[in-house]
Amino acid sequence: MDEILRFERVWYRYEEGRMALTDFSVTVRAGERIAVLGENGAGKSTFFLLANGVLRPEKGTVLWNGIPIGRDVKSLNALRKGVGLVFQDPDVQILAGTVAEEISFGPVNLGLSVAQVSRRVEAALDTFALQPYRDRAPQSLSGGEKKRVTLADAAAMDPQLLLLDEPASSLDPVHARQLEEYLALLSRRGLALMVATHDVDFAWRWADRVLVFHNGTLAADGGPAQIFEQEELLRRCGLEQPVLIRIARILGLKRAPRTVEELEQEWRV
């Protein structure tokens, strides 16, 4: 897979002097599904804000499609166009008077023609089942509906990489399952997805790669099986093994299933 985003020895310190990322390096490739794990304050949100160009590194380099991102408008715009960001709280992101206007905001700022903006808005409304809400005030929608609006916002920008910060927080089980279905749809369309989450069970069944943050550093980077078998690492970083791994151990299964459906199949055999 082609590289799209790279951090080379990036450092970031907040104004009060607190170090958020220390000597941080990572590469993200097209089409990956990456779960980003770690305790609160471990550096996950700072990483996302640097990856989207909201923050700029104190030291080190961020590269987008092989090109270093400077402080010039051109390179920053390329990064912000290519990397979409969905915040944990939809109300932070939603600004416009109607759902359709909200989704059109990003494409309009890209300087697209009226026809191009219209096509992107209609496609996003269709993809996220928002046509019935197009003329509604997004602030009046339910939490699950607002989350779909923020996903539509980001998708309408046609990014290569989409960052989602705790997207399932405050969602009920029905809307959380619906969110995973939308993530699967976006993945099939070729987007690279990075999801910051505390839900290790979600990370186990969904991700093909896991990044573990600890005290502003990258403590581990690997496949889910590789990461979740390291019990000492998990304890040090405030994480637990996924339930299905623990169940597989109790049942004596040779391979831990990724989903409940896989567990049922293994157990029947």
Please give the domain boundaries of the chain with CATH numbers for all domains: 3-238 (3.40.50.300), 239-269 (no CATH)
Chain mean pLDDT for the chain: 92
Tens of pLDDT, residue by residue over 203-256, are 999 999 999 999 999 999 999 999 999 999 999 999 999 999 999 999 888 889
Does the pLDDT at position 167 exceed 60? yes
Does the pLDDT at position 269 exceed 70? no
pLDDT of residue 176: 87
**pTM of this prediction exceeds 0.85:** yes
Instruction: Over range 102-124, report the average pLDDT.
Output: 92
Residues present in the chain in total: 269
Instruction: Over range 160-178, report the average pLDDT.
Output: 88
- Tell me the percentage of the chain whose pLDDT exceeds 70: 99
pLDDT of residue 171: 80
Instruction: Over range 167-190, report the average pLDDT.
Output: 88
Q: Which residue has the higher pLDDT, 73 or 47?
A: 47
pLDDT of residue 268: 66
pLDDT of residue 70: 86
